[in-house]
Structure 1
Amino acid sequence: MGEARISRQASEGPRRVLFPLALAQFICSFAGSNMNVMINDISRDLDTTVEGVQVAITVFLLVMAALMIPGGKLTDRYGRKRCLLAGLLIYGLGALLSAVSPGLGVLILGNSILEGVGTALLIPPVYILTTLLFTETASRARAFGAIMAFGGVGAAAGPLIGGLITSVLGWRAAFVFQALVIVLIIFLSREIKDPLPPDPTSPFDVRGAILSAVGLVLVVSGILAAKTDLWLMLALLVAGALVLTWFFGWIRARERAGEEPLLSTSLFRDRTSNLGLVTQNVQWLVLMGTSFTVAAYLQVVRGYDAIQTGVIFTAATLGLLATSLMAERLAERRSQRTLIVTGFAVTVAGIVLLLALVGGSPSPWAFAPGLLLIGLGIGLMLTPSVNIVQSAFGEDRQGEISGLSRSVSNLGSSLGTAIAGTILVAGLTTHAYAAAMLTLAAFALLGLSTALFLGPGPR
């Protein structure tokens, strides 16, 4: 009966069900990149620095990564649609608070904390509902393709949309825009029916949630500390590694005792899924790292305003949109492994172009070829990586794997901003820009090497 209802809902109005889910992914990805073009405006208005804005962006991405796994588990206990709506409301409140923030502290509370918590609650239901509502392989692939396209375009178009809004209405209006989109998603979500009832008796591993969150926060904080104190960086990284080790020991102990942990260790026993998670992490690390590095360089070093910076990023948006929209057609002709390998190769070529052309030309359009290739490469592999991971497990594991998958991706986003941003703000010069981009190229090559070990995966 449940399967019949799912199929009927998917057949009666797949676009009505899918659109709010894809739009939710869009606005969360948009929030992670649109602040990149507001660096100068926010710094002047709130009397802060480039480093302060970088911290706000990184903390937002980090909160998402740290809470995504607990957010995925809560969907079993309270229901997928209920968590989706709760996340949207918290996110909207954070956006409104950010819009009226008098200083960096309130901005971090609204944008980094509340929007981060809201995203961690609403994103896992997006992927779980998609998996449950679209049961056929072809329809599920199309649905994931649409969601990842919206997410990728949100991240790539964030600088352009944010730049337009900032130039015309001011940077605060960009947060009002986010709140309005949240209202629209809540309105459209009334069409969504949760295919599975919530289970109030489902256990929730509080200690595991705390340990995983603290461990991730310490690791990323260590990277941020690299530019000021190497000993502090080392201490935070070691502490983070110890806490994460404690976390894995804790969940294994719960499993041996017959209790349900926050995250089952069996999720890490699938080799293909593990490799897919690595490629997801690296994709978002490169995309968000490039976005922050190029945007900061354009504004701080070359003196471009928000709209000029956003227009330059149009090349990446167009490239990502083009390959994302072709995802279904490409998946019918090529294996998912081939698409991911090709995507990384094209991305590396884009970074090389960014280094070669920008260094030899003062023109802002020297950024366009490299950004276009990066957009094409990232768009080519976003959907295959997600599909490989999600399809490795049955419906009973979708809550866990969805939370893990989104956590890994958002951890990549926060690491990309933290690593590239730390290198860049340490000395905003041509050499710092080159060093940051070379670091991102090294990570892209790591992703390419990992993808070579993937199996062909389902088409």
Structure 2
Amino acid sequence: MTQEKSRTGRFPTGLRRALIAFALAQFICSFAGSNMNVMISDISRDLGTTVQGVQLAITLFLLVMAALMIPGGKLTDVFGRKRCLIVGLILFGSGALLSAVAPDLAVLIIGYSVLEGVGTALLIPPVYILTTLLFKDLGSRARAFGAISAMGGVGAVAGPLIGGFIAYAVSWRAAFVAQALIVLVIVLLSRRAVRDPLPADRSRPFDVGGAVLSSAGLILIVLGILAADDDPGLMIGLLIAGGLVLAGFFVLMRRRERSGREPLLSLALFRNRASNLGLVTQNMQWLMVMGSSFVVSTYLQVVRGFNAIETGGVFTATTAGVLISSLGAERMARLRPQRTLIMAGFVVTIAGIALLLTLGRSSDSVWVMVPGLFVIGLGLGGMLTPSVNVVQSSFGEELQGEISGLSRSVSNLGSSLGAALAGTILVAGVDSTAPGRAYVLAMLAVAAAGLVGLVAAAFLPRTQPSA
């Protein structure tokens, strides 16, 4: 399975099947993070909760992923990458089934936010670690990451479309049943097609203290953002507490390294300039993906009164944009440096937001959103893969478990920040006399994140295009 492409330019059968399993796994996790956006009204009505309650469930799902991704990446070294992949898929599928029968918001949070979130944190690091280990040369690895990242992007932007169709045709509960069925397919495919080239090492220590501190710090920061509308004082306190806990985490990591003990996260990961900047771009990209999806979906349903299928339908444009730019990503990688592709992606995405805001206020029709969402999709699809490749390729095999966990944690933190930050701005103004103004402010916050990502990308090294 570790053989590279054949003379026809295609990967061997074993590698192709493994790549399909990895891409589907990334797809379903990204899909789970965004498909609920178009079912907010249906879920809140069915479970007797509010828009804020559903936003909390979505944000907690993304937050659990982000908080546990670093420990999840480390556990792959101890228990094995394939085993963690399978266990994560089983947890994810179990959570989906529990969510499908949830009688209230509390059970939905247990199934969706907790079980699916923990399952994702276990299964995603192995996807990226095994991809790095199985696809040896840079060109093959770039193609594999391109396929996986593209499926992740498609899952995120097609989530509202597919979820809206299922909710309209059957029920929002059926969307969770569909998730469980796809997970079953991935489990069956992974058991046969995926092989772990490195043995598990049960003797390796696991830094429990570091895992607790890293998770607690991220949770406090996102909860602080969620508290912004209700209690600004509490928000500041949570943000400060989160910052202090994360500072304590890095102090602990430094002490463990100096004493010769293995830390949860090697500080060497933060001494690579290209990787650090790539992580910033990943965080901002996924903030824009989830922030724009949540804001537009909520605005169309709660403020404009469109149903799930109408709301999901307009996201066909974003899906088409992501697919078009993702399909051309490999060719563009041979022609342009990764830095250029990432910068162009941010510029195009910000332009899409500007177009969305300009045309969206010119008519009451939902379809005026299409041009802006299409351009947003083009921008996002063109830069997701280069950012992943910059980060993952900055380190050797010995650090792949840690950098994979860190990379996915940073990306999912971006998603949770997008739902929390932009969502809080929007939800706070939904019941006001000017909900349209809250929508504009929320989308401007997403655009501001794009500017931060653009600046970070501008400082990436000027590398040559991939061969």
TM-score category, normalised to shorter length: over 0.9
Structure 1 residue 439 corresponds to structure 2 residue 445: yes
Alignment of 1:86-235 (within 5 A): 86-189=87-190, 190-235=192-237
Q: Work out the CA distance in 2 between the residues paired with 1:214 and 1:45.
A: 32
Alignment of 1:318-329 (within 5 A): 318-329=320-331
The Cα of 1:11 is off from its aligned counterpart by 3.0
Q: Helix, strand or coil: the match of 1:232?
A: helix
Q: Deviations over 1:25-79 (max 9, x none)?
A: 0000000000000000001000001100000000000000000000000000000
Q: Work out the CA distance in 2 between the residues paired with 1:217 and 1:30.
A: 22
Q: Work out the CA distance in 2 between the residues paired with 1:198 and 1:8.
A: 24
Q: Deviations over 1:265-311 (max 9, x none)?
A: 11000001000000000000011000000000000011111110000
Match of 1:269, as an amino acid? Answer: R
The Cα of 1:366 is off from its aligned counterpart by 1.2
Moved more, 354-363 or 175-184: 354-363
Q: Deviations over 1:123-155 (max 9, x none)?
A: 000000000011022111110000001000000
CA RMSD of aligned residues (A): 1.0
Structure 1 residue 420 corresponds to structure 2 residue 416: no
The Cα of 1:259 is off from its aligned counterpart by 0.5
Match of 2:453, as an amino acid? Answer: G
1:242 aligned residue (238, 241, 244):
244
Q: Work out the CA distance in 1 between the residues paired with 2:18 and 2:217.
A: 36
Q: Work out the CA distance in 1 between the residues paired with 2:55 and 2:122.
A: 23
Match of 2:452, as an amino acid? Answer: L
Q: Work out the CA distance in 2 between the residues paired with 1:291 and 1:397.
A: 33
1:455 aligned residue (457, 461, 465):
461
Q: Helix, strand or coil: the match of 1:362?
A: coil
Q: Work out the CA distance in 2 between the residues paired with 1:456 and 1:142.
A: 20
Q: Work out the CA distance in 2 between the residues paired with 1:288 and 1:36.
A: 9
2:279 aligned residue (277, 280, 287):
277
1:335 aligned residue (313, 326, 337):
337
The Cα of 1:209 is off from its aligned counterpart by 0.1
Q: Work out the CA distance in 2 between the residues paired with 1:37 and 1:237.
A: 30
Q: Helix, strand or coil: the match of 1:48?
A: coil
- Structure 1, unpaired ranges of 5+: none
The TM-score normalised by the length of structure 1 is: 0.98
Contact 1:316 1:373 in 2 (8 A): yes
Aligned to 2:401: 399
Match of 1:362, as an amino acid? Answer: D
The Cα of 1:427 is off from its aligned counterpart by 1.0
Aligned to 2:58: 57
1:7 aligned residue (3, 12, 19):
3
Contact 1:388 1:457 in 2 (8 A): no
The Cα of 1:334 is off from its aligned counterpart by 0.5
The Cα of 1:354 is off from its aligned counterpart by 1.1
Q: Work out the CA distance in 2 between the residues paired with 1:13 and 1:437.
A: 43
Alignment of 1:244-323 (within 5 A): 244-323=246-325
Match of 1:305, as an amino acid? Answer: N
Contact 2:55 2:423 in 1 (8 A): yes
Identity of matched residues, %? 67
Q: Work out the CA distance in 2 between the residues paired with 1:335 and 1:79.
A: 35
Q: Work out the CA distance in 2 between the residues paired with 1:78 and 1:7.
A: 25
The TM-score normalised by the length of structure 2 is: 0.96
Q: Work out the CA distance in 2 between the residues paired with 1:8 and 1:323.
A: 25
Aligned to 1:72: 73
* Inter-CA distance 273–170: structure 2 relative to 1 (3 Å threshold): same
The Cα of 1:455 is off from its aligned counterpart by 1.1
Q: Work out the CA distance in 1 between the residues paired with 2:408 and 2:327.
A: 21
Contact 2:278 2:391 in 1 (8 A): yes
Q: Helix, strand or coil: the match of 1:197?
A: coil
Contact 1:287 1:378 in 2 (8 A): yes
Q: Work out the CA distance in 2 between the residues paired with 1:200 and 1:316.
A: 44
The Cα of 1:326 is off from its aligned counterpart by 1.1
Match of 1:191, as an amino acid? Answer: A
Aligned to 2:385: 383
Q: Work out the CA distance in 2 between the residues paired with 1:31 and 1:377.
A: 22
Q: Helix, strand or coil: the match of 2:182?
A: helix
* Inter-CA distance 86–188: structure 2 relative to 1 (3 Å threshold): same
Contact 1:165 1:171 in 2 (8 A): yes
Match of 1:454, as an amino acid? Answer: L
Q: Deviations over 1:151-189 (max 9, x none)?
A: 000000000000010001100000000000000000111
Q: Work out the CA distance in 2 between the residues paired with 1:321 and 1:32.
A: 19
Q: Work out the CA distance in 2 between the residues paired with 1:313 and 1:457.
A: 34
Structure 1 residue 367 corresponds to structure 2 residue 363: no
The Cα of 1:6 is off from its aligned counterpart by 2.1
Q: Work out the CA distance in 1 between the residues paired with 2:336 and 2:148.
A: 20
Moved over 6 A (4+): none
Q: Deviations over 1:357-391 (max 9, x none)?
A: 11222121111111111100010000000000000
Q: Work out the CA distance in 2 between the residues paired with 1:8 and 1:271.
A: 30
Q: Helix, strand or coil: the match of 2:349?
A: helix
Q: Work out the CA distance in 2 between the residues paired with 1:236 and 1:12.
A: 50
Contact 2:4 2:140 in 1 (8 A): no
Q: Helix, strand or coil: the match of 2:299?
A: helix
The Cα of 1:457 is off from its aligned counterpart by 3.6
Q: Work out the CA distance in 2 between the residues paired with 1:115 and 1:33.
A: 13
